[in-house]
Amino acid sequence: MQTSTERVLAIFERINAIPRCSSKERALSDWLVGWASEHQLECERDGVLNVLIRVPGTGEAADAAPVTLQGHLDMVCEKTPESEHSFDTDPIRSITEGEWLTADGTTLGADNGIAIALALAVAEDEGIVHPPLELLFTVDEETGLIGAQDLSPDWLRARILLNLDSEDEGVFTIGCAGGLSSLVSVPVSRVAPNSESEFVQLAVAGLKGGHSGVDIHLDRANANVLVARVALDLREKFGATVAEVHGGSAHNAIPRDAHVVLGFNPSRIEEARTLVSTWRRTLSVEYASTDPNLTVELREAERPERVLDDVSAGRLMDILLGLPHGMIRMSREIAGLVETSTNLATVRTSDGKVEIDTSQRSSSEFQLEAIAARVAAVARLGGGSVRITSRYPAWEPETESKILRTASEVYRKLFDAEPTMEVIHAGLECGVIGAKYPEMEMLSIGPTIEMVHSPDERMHLPSIERIWDFLVHLLRALR
């Protein structure tokens, strides 16, 4: 007979067999519609592919007020440089390592596939007493809470929502930061490369990365920043030309890899290699405790047809080095909480421009505007422009809510311990949903997941059993 953890993980593995990168969730959305039909449950889907499944209440809770269980369909698709995994076609391959579940060279997708698995497992278990449930699964959470922002304000009937997107079992998340994404566009001009130039790729790799909200205070290295530091030095000392800059993978992940294609006079290549070796040693010492696997090297590169002219390359390097990155300010009110931060997330080079995607977070609307204005100012000083591509509100804590009181009582009785309350620096859909449903009481919970948004993502298996037991008892208490 399967344990509750095994039942949840069996559903999780079915979910992980379906590719679901952000903006590519149709297959999973279709699967959920099919799952609802198979279980003869009422199901609705909106124009952006958000799914809402209504589950009748059971036992003495059959006529209670409904409760929403909510999670998101998409996952951050990150992999190691050597991985041949295709996120468009291949299933995520899970690996059990002791008490932890991880993946084979990719993100695991526990953020937030485990929420879907928990919700479906509750609906499938006829022995659980629970109120009528609304299983709400949203799209494009990782790219700016897009699915939640497109929710109809009259879709949900419940006035209690349990978000299953937290990552520390035993911790109740009761608030989160707001944020926005600032896309910097730098116009560039191109010229033919010098006929004698030899081209190489300057690559920074092996960084730990991580979630740009949860891990931003850990002062891990940013590949985009480091590659710009080294490239600028190579330009100044050896007159290197710049053909392209490419780094990072997602707006909400601290970039782990970046590269710049550079052209040199062949007589200066060996000197350049020596300088890069010096940089590697320097940066390895600087980030020894946070990024022990950091590498900086020159690799072979194909000769490009065009390179950035000297003015464009100079402006681009100045912007990359001038843009702020990391924790900006700690909260004055809540000990240990990062109030404001910014992530220099991705750099992409095209024919006429280089685009730099940055994301800002803050629990203070005033400070959010201040750091976004600083990003825009640096961009303008370098001849670039900025466009806000997404925005989401903060979730203000409500410490006297019924759901928080009930959840705390259930946790104490079940585990003989006090739950921890926290406000997080990451963005949660609760902020957006709360703005659409002002009377909604919300709480965010989940099993323990570490190193999200990176190939090191892993989920603690014993915490699944605990969160399951807690969720079952909490739903019964809400009758």
Task: Give me the active site residues, please.
Answer: 74, 141
Token pair for residue 400? Answer: 């006297």
The residue type found at 283 is L
Q: How far apart are CA 226 and CA 228, in angstroms?
A: 5
Token pair for residue 135? Answer: 């299983």
Spatial neighbors of 173 by CB under 8 A, at least 6 apart, are: 163, 166, 422, 423, 424, 428, 443, 444, 445
DSSP state of 18: S
Residues 468/115, Cβ–Cβ less than 8 Å? no
Token pair for residue 16? Answer: 């992980």
Spatial neighbors of 144 by CB under 8 A, at least 6 apart, are: 181, 251, 389, 390, 391, 392
The residue type found at 14 is R
3-state percent helix, strand, coil for the chain, nearest multiple of 5: 35, 30, 40
Beta bridge partners of 356: 184, 347
Residues 471/201, Cβ–Cβ less than 8 Å? no
Per DSSP bridges, beta strands 338-349 and 326-330 are: antiparallel
Among the listed residues 293, 316, 348, the one whose alpha carbon sits nearest the alpha carbon of residue 82: 293
Residues 457/113, Cβ–Cβ less than 8 Å? no
Spatial neighbors of 154 by CB under 8 A, at least 6 apart, are: none
Token pair for residue 12? Answer: 């999780």
H helices of 26-67, in order, are 26-38
Q: How far apart are CA 468 and CA 424, in angstroms?
A: 22
Crossing angle of helices 310-322 and 365-381, in 10° steps, is 160
